[in-house]
Structure 1
Amino acid sequence: MTSVFFGFLHLYGPQFWSSILASYPKSVIIPWGTFIISQVGFWFWVSLLAVLDLCQFPKSFWRYKIQPLKVPTWEWYRKALWVVLQNQFLVALPSSFLLWKLMDLRGNPVGMELPTVWDLSKELIGFLVVEELGFYYGHRLFHHPKLYKRIHKKHHLYTAPIGIAAIYCHPIEHFVCNLCPLALGPVLMKSHILTLWLWITVGQTNAINSHCGFHLPLFPSPLAHDYHHEVFNKNFGPLGVLDWLHDTAGSREMAAEKKQRELAATTQAQTNVQAVVPDSSKPNVKEV
């Protein structure tokens, strides 16, 4: 995806970008461009996954299903659709205008000079740090008992998640956990708007993949977040660094191993107790 993006910039970028700048003001390019890019990317992947979920086509891909006993239905999609559209038009669209103001204050994000691979490489580190910190701690916050029932419980309706459920959540959660960590890095790094659009596309694709319910070839593994939806108290972060630091990392394999260790320890304890308890069938007296 990144190579395609920079390949396009190298071949057609200057002419394309100059025509955009000549046709639209920043007040249109930043908020509306960001919203359109996110919409196209989101519904492209969700539509492909809907065909896989609902039509089971191609059938051969179902061997990659993580929880094969839980088969998505039209009802799952219908329930998610209305909430997702509300989050996109009532939360994400207004937020894109806030993003325009913040990026404009930090510098000129729509300059004629196009971003380079080196620019992205430098800024990507900052993006990843902000995303990991913002999403992990925001996510942990919404798992607090006082907030979970009121806000985050909605997102955990899908214990076997589907792609569209990536933003099936309370609007406050969508703003705090999904939008802010993704957009704050480019704002702080004074990134070009094209870099922001690439980062949004990558981040959004990763979020959909994390919820898709399939461990598809050539895609990052979604097992960690899928497991989070199953057990709720493991794998809060997108990268896993803070999960490792706070001992909240987990997997089905780790859970099975822990269960086996606990069973072995219980069995050993029972054996030890039986070894020290005297046999009541024999008289407790010494023979003279």
Structure 2
Amino acid sequence: MTTGIPPLDILLEKGPFIFAFDFGRYLIAASITFAIVWGLRRSSIKARKIQSREATAADMRREVLQSLQSAMVYTLGAAFLVWGTQNGIFKWFNGSFGLATDLLILVAIVIAHDAYFYWAHRTMHHPSLFKYFHRAHHRSITPTPWAAYSFAIPEAVVMFMFVPIWQFFVPTPGWVMFTWLNFQIIRNAMGHAGFEFFPRWWLSTPLTSWINTTVHHDLHHNGGFNTNYGLYFTWWDKWMGTENANYHAKFAEVVGRDGKQVEDAVAVYR
């Protein structure tokens, strides 16, 4: 027996707020990342732009429109999530378990989402599924931050489904979910930025080499279609043998360009 507000009424009542929040955080993350890249491309490290090809205005317009479509899917899904929470299907916790426990849950959701993303993403690359689920996203050969949510409707559904699966098993404080949602979109925008932000030593130390760079995902869009499926970390790609063989060399080449520019400028000056 179900109780509470019916899903359609939830959608009508809360849908505009849910949509504004979800599409708004996408716009904020993508806009800020785009602005940062715009500025860095006019700085001394401008050569860190990964591809020589430029994304067109049509590319970015398509990415924004598809992201708008994804936000609509997420709004529908969130209405179902609210209904399920009211009926005890999904676990929502309005308080706190204490800072230490809350932080452990935050770390757990990031790790779990990375695993979910890897396997869902890799599955959508199967030839029988790719056309219907993932081809729309791969129209961005030279992605921009606007591609963060640039999905076909079936892929948007797959991406959303992590949340109800997680909340079916784990009662999660609201601030933890809010933090993860914003961390997720920021990292997604960075992964599609087309510009490498991380320092040269990033892949040279075990403390950071397992954290994805922009080059890692950019290779997936251009030059490594069946490699580099991970979102936050490189663990699953390493374990499953799907990391692009040229990843480390490409990263070194991209982050080395700014140093080469300085050397060239000094040589000319002399």
TM-score by length of 1: 0.67
Aligned position for 1:200? 181
Counterpart amino acid of 1:84? S
Counterpart amino acid of 1:139? H
Three-state SS of the structure 2 residue aligned to 1:149 is helix
Question: Separation in 2 of the partners of 1:120 and 1:30?
Answer: 27
Number of residues paired by the alignment? 224
Kept after mapping to 2: 8 A contact 1:35/1:96? no
Q: CA RMSD, aligned part only?
A: 2.9
Question: Separation in 2 of the partners of 1:30 and 1:121?
Answer: 28
Aligned position for 1:134? 116
Kept after mapping to 1: 8 A contact 2:30/2:145? yes
Alignment of 1:1-288 (within 5 A): 35-51=19-35, 56-57=38-39, 59-60=42-43, 62-67=46-51, 69-89=52-72, 91-104=73-86, 105-106=88-89, 109=92, 111=94, 113-114=95-96, 116-176=98-158, 178-182=159-163, 184-216=165-197, 221-230=213-222, 231-238=224-231, 239-250=233-244, 252-253=246-247
> Which of structures 1 and 2 has the larger relative contact order (alpha carbons within 8 angstroms, sep 6+)?
2
Question: Separation in 2 of the partners of 1:224 and 1:253?
Answer: 6
1:135 deviation in Å? 1.1
Kept after mapping to 2: 8 A contact 1:126/1:185? no
Question: Gapped runs of 5+ residues in structure 2?
Answer: 1-9, 200-210, 251-270
Three-state SS of the structure 2 residue aligned to 1:82 is helix
Question: Gapped runs of 5+ residues in structure 1?
Answer: 1-26, 257-288
Structure index of larger Rg: 1
Counterpart amino acid of 1:138? A
Counterpart amino acid of 2:56? T
Kept after mapping to 2: 8 A contact 1:37/1:197? no
Question: Separation in 1 of the partners of 2:185 and 2:170?
Answer: 19
Kept after mapping to 1: 8 A contact 2:136/2:152? yes
Counterpart amino acid of 1:120? D
CA deviations 1:53-112 (Å, max 9, x no partner) are: 6xx445116333222x122232221222222212212x011011122133342577363x
Kept after mapping to 1: 8 A contact 2:34/2:193? no
> Relative to 1, partners in 2 of residues 1:159 and 1:183: Cα closer, same or farther, differing over 3 Å?
farther
> Relative to 1, partners in 2 of residues 1:157 and 1:107: Cα closer, same or farther, differing over 3 Å?
closer
Question: Separation in 1 of the partners of 2:235 and 2:169?
Answer: 21
TM-score by length of 2: 0.71
> Relative to 1, partners in 2 of residues 1:94 and 1:81: Cα closer, same or farther, differing over 3 Å?
same
Question: Separation in 2 of the partners of 1:211 and 1:186?
Answer: 28
Counterpart amino acid of 1:43? L
> Relative to 1, partners in 2 of residues 1:106 and 1:224: Cα closer, same or farther, differing over 3 Å?
same
Counterpart amino acid of 1:167? Y
Question: Separation in 2 of the partners of 1:92 and 1:249?
Answer: 30
